[in-house]
Amino acid sequence: MMPDLGAYAVEVTLAWLGSLALLGGLIAWVWLRGRRVRAELDQIENRSERKRHG
Amino acid sequence: MSNGSLWEYANPVKFMRLSGRVLPWVAGLAAVLVGGGLFWGFFLTPDDFRQGSTVKIIFLHVPAALVAINAWIMMLVASLVWLIRRHHVAALAAKAAAPVGAVMTVIGLFTGAVWGQPMWGTWWAWDPRLTAFLILFLFYLGYIALWSAIEDADTAADLTAVLCLVGTVFAVLSRYAAFFWSQGLHQGASLSLAPGTRMDWAYKAPLYACMAGFTLLFVALLLAGTRTEIRARRYRALMVRERMYA
């Protein structure tokens, strides 16, 4: 399944693994930050809702 | 009630509603195209007669560079919308696009260097296109740092918008430097609409899939990031209100 990368195996593997790691890191950062901010906002909205109703 | 104008999505509530509906589809399509395009490019394309297997780096390098440059152009448009019409969603969209563009610039620089070493015999050259692209990356860093450094959101949006206008010179140079100066190591456009195609369809088809996938990935991350920025701004406003009435 793995293609024969010949004389440039190191360069091609390095470029692909490095780029996929960067892409994965970016996606994870956007997703986790979104989740954290949403949880914080839910918390403060619930708190202000409770205050308003007594 | 909808008036059919694009400007109605400058309303954060409307933007959140629409982006919440669209985001899963864009993200799903991006996953299919990026996954499929990269698989096709890595596993199913032959080696090039001159570049050998390093030709497979193009499936990361070209889409990343495309997004890196166009993300800045999108930030320019959003910044102009902010400066002229004072729509907060536009400023927050520009802010959300910057980290995505910065990472794409790093991927472009990194893959270019790794490809350049065996093909050009050097990791780096002070070639007009490469240098403009490196400066674009520095502008991305400056843009992100400026947003973080200024506490007042509107002032930060104003100053980063001006920085974006200046940095646009390097986004344009990253794309057209090879035409302007006709010198340096970096070749001209790999893909062209002009007759006399330079690339075989065996490479072009997966490359188009990757370019479409990276573009949709950018849109998905932009929508997700802008939604987060809108929520973060609401969170800060509620915090201020809570402190005032404590």
Please report whether residue B133 resides in a domain: yes
pLDDT score of B117: 94
pLDDT score of B192: 61
Residues of A in contact with B49 (CB under 8 A): none
Kindly give, in sequence order, each residue whose CB lies less than 8 Å from that of residue B89, ignoring residues fewer than 6 positions away: B9, B10, B11, B12, B15, B226, B230
Please report whether residue B91 resides in a domain: yes
pLDDT score of B112: 96
- Pick the residue from chain B with its C-alpha nearest to A28: B221
Query: pLDDT 10s per residue in chain B (246 long)?
Result: 455 576 766 789 999 999 999 999 999 999 999 999 999 999 999 999 889 999 999 999 999 999 999 999 999 999 999 999 999 999 999 999 999 999 999 999 999 999 999 999 999 999 888 999 999 999 999 999 999 999 999 999 999 999 999 999 988 888 776 666 666 667 666 666 566 667 888 999 999 999 999 999 999 999 999 999 999 999 999 999 888 887
HSE at residue B99, side-chain half, CA atoms within 13 A, is 22
Long-range contacts of B229-233 (CB under 8 A, 24+ apart): B229/B92, B229/B93, B229/B95, B229/B96, B230/B12, B230/B15, B230/B16, B230/B89, B230/B92, B231/A34, B231/A37, B231/A38, B231/A41, B232/A37, B232/A41, B233/B88, B233/B92, B233/B153
- Measured between CB atoms, which of B42, B52, B103 is closest to A8? B52
Please report whether residue A8 resides in a domain: no
Please report whether residue A16 resides in a domain: no
- Which of A19, A20, A31 would best serve as a mutation to test chain B binding (most B beta carbons within 10 A)? A19
**Strand ranges, E, within B38-99:** none
Asked whether this complex has an ipTM greater than 0.85, the answer is yes
Domain around A33:
29-54
Residues of A in contact with B61 (CB under 8 A): 15
pLDDT score of B167: 94
Phi-psi region of B4 (alpha: psi -120 to 50; beta: other; left: phi over 0): left
Task: Say whether A15 and B115 touch across the interface (CB within 8 A).
Answer: yes
Could you read off the pLDDT of A18-47 as tens digits, one per residue?
Answer: 999 999 999 999 999 999 999 999 999 998
Residues of B in contact with A39 (CB under 8 A): none
Domains identified in chain B, total number: 1
Domains identified in chain A, total number: 1
Task: Say whether B53 and A38 touch across the interface (CB within 8 A).
Answer: no
Please report whether residue A7 resides in a domain: no
Please report whether residue A22 resides in a domain: no
Alpha helices in chain A (DSSP H): 9-52
CB B29 within 8 A of CB B8: no
Instruction: For helices B88-120 and B201-244, give the axis angle rounded to 10 degrees.
Output: 140
CB B83 within 8 A of CB B157: no
Neighbours of B56 (CB within 10 A): 29
Task: Say whether B53 and A45 touch across the interface (CB within 8 A).
Answer: no
What sign for the dihedral angle of Cα B208, B210, B213, B215? negative
Phi-psi region of B5 (alpha: psi -120 to 50; beta: other; left: phi over 0): beta
Name the 3-class secondary structure at B52: strand
Distance from CA of A28 to the nearest CA of B (A): 10
**Could you give the dihedral angle defined by the CA atoms of residues A22, A25, A29 and A31, in that order, rounded to the nearest 10 degrees?**
110
Please report whether residue A20 resides in a domain: no
Please report whether residue A50 resides in a domain: yes
pLDDT score of A1: 73
CB B9 within 8 A of CB B209: no
Please report whether residue B96 resides in a domain: yes
Residues of A in contact with B64 (CB under 8 A): 19
pLDDT score of A50: 83
Could you read off the pLDDT of B178-216 as tens digits, one per residue?
Answer: 666 666 667 666 666 566 667 888 999 999 999 999 999
